[in-house]
Amino acid sequence: MSSWLWFSLRILKSGQKKAGIASWFSFVGLILGVASMTVAMAVVSGFETTLKNAIIDVRGHLIVFKQGKSIEKPSQFESKLKSIVPEITATVPFVMVEAVAAHKGRIQGVMIQGVDTKKAVEHLGIRKRLVEGSFSFPRSDEGMGVIVGKGFARTFNLKVGDVFRLVLPTANELNPVDFKRKMGKFLVSGIVDLGKHQYNERYLITDLKIAQEFAMLGDRYLGLMVKIKESEKARAYGLRLAAELGARYWVQDWEDDNLFEAIKIEKPILFVVLLIIVIVAALNISSTLFINVVQRYSDIGILKAMGASPRWICKVFYAQGGLIGLIGNILGFLLGLVFCGIFALLQKSLGVIDGSVYNVDGISIQIRIFDTFCIFFFTMMICFLSTLAPAWRGAKLSPVEGLRYE
């Protein structure tokens, strides 16, 4: 072990006994600052991932549909898309139909999503979100099979096996301002947690053929849900498809939700705001180290008289700041993990996340390596910078001045 590091450890160890309450508060503030940043980044990252997975599992990475018209011959259209973007791994034909759900005196607008069942199971993540029932769409005299979101099931007090009605308004060819009503009976074959509050409240998922029949679309479909190799490149691939397909087609990627733009802006702001706690704690630590220099004038004078260089003295105090930062980082990160566990427990038992406000019914805590590295790096940098003034003061002290206090 280097002599300056050994001496720094001895000073730090002996200084614990002399440290005042202000010094301990500064150190606790450093720990709480790191813990707060760890929790905040984990919650924001978890929120982003939860929302992203919900959208991709239900709608894929991209959605391509034609304005005003339905698309025919899905296999040909799929080949056309793959010729433009070879990175496309799969496509799922779908239709979207707006209707009104009615059950026991309650009514609500819903969105019926009809998907190719086989492809949806293979390429989308809807099936793994099933919480009750089965991912099947039987036809019987009671009704046509449909899977509903847990929010919709709660609103209408539905269970697997229950039957409700959907009303589809269609234009009257004789009178454009009038509408005809088509009614269909649907049987709840499963209940899913789609991850996003809006999906859970309004989305109904059924087989493509059932949706086409109910909406009287024949063999037509509205578009394709597209899966790609790398989700982060969805925006670039979407722009490429839009440019090649022309103005008649709309292309949406999973990042089109405005919440993702808000997260990109708010996350660094939140990091900087919480970093202020660490900066304040580091400044207090700096003052403590400065006092430590004054208290050790005689020791520094003796060391300099014995041949210690200013650079060696600086290393001693730099090491102190580094050790304080390292210990504060480790304890803060561990405390942050505890807070994350408490948050997850409260979320599960008390439901602290309001889906109507945050757009998700629950957040999966996610601690990312990059976020943790940024917290560690900036905390260590601030602690190091806080040692500059004390270190320079100790390095400039002359042996005569130091021994005068002996």
Q: Quick check: 205 pLDDT over 60?
A: yes
The mean pLDDT of 55-61, rounded to a whole number, is 85
Per-residue pLDDT tens digits for 212-258: 888 887 777 888 888 888 888 888 888 888 888 887 888 888 877 66
From CA 61, how far away is CA 226, in angstroms rounded? Answer: 6
What pLDDT score was predicted for residue 211? 87
Whole-number Å distance between alpha carbons of 331 and 29? 11
| Residue 379 and residue 30 in contact, taking contact as beta carbons nearer than 8 Å | yes
- Radius of gyration over alpha carbons of the chain, in Å? 31
Q: What is the pLDDT of residues 136-175, one digit of tens each?
A: 888 887 888 899 988 888 888 888 888 888 888 776 555 5
The SS3 call for residue 176 is coil
Q: What is the distance of C-alpha 19 from the center of its chain?
A: 41
Domain range list for the chain: 3-55+259-403, 68-246
∠ CA 315-319-325, rounded to 5°: 145
pLDDT digits (tens, 9 = 90+) for 347-392: 777 665 655 555 666 777 888 888 888 888 888 887 777 777 666 6
Reply yes or no on whether the pLDDT at 402 is more than 80.
no
pLDDT tens for each residue of 42-57: 888 888 888 888 888 8
Structure tokens at 158: 């539905």
320 vs 104, more confident? 104
Read off the pLDDT of each residue in 72-88 and give the average, rounded to a whole number. Answer: 80
pLDDT at residue number 232: 84
**What pLDDT, on the 0 to 100 scale, is given for residue 51?**
82
> Mean pLDDT across the stretch 109-127?
86
Closest alpha carbon to 144 in 59, 204, 57: 204
Residue of 41, 32, 26, 19 whose CA lies nearest to 329: 32
Neighbours of 306 (CB within 10 A): 8
Q: Indicate the pLDDT class of residue 293, thresholds 50, 70 and 90.
A: low
Q: Note the pLDDT of residue 334.
A: 92
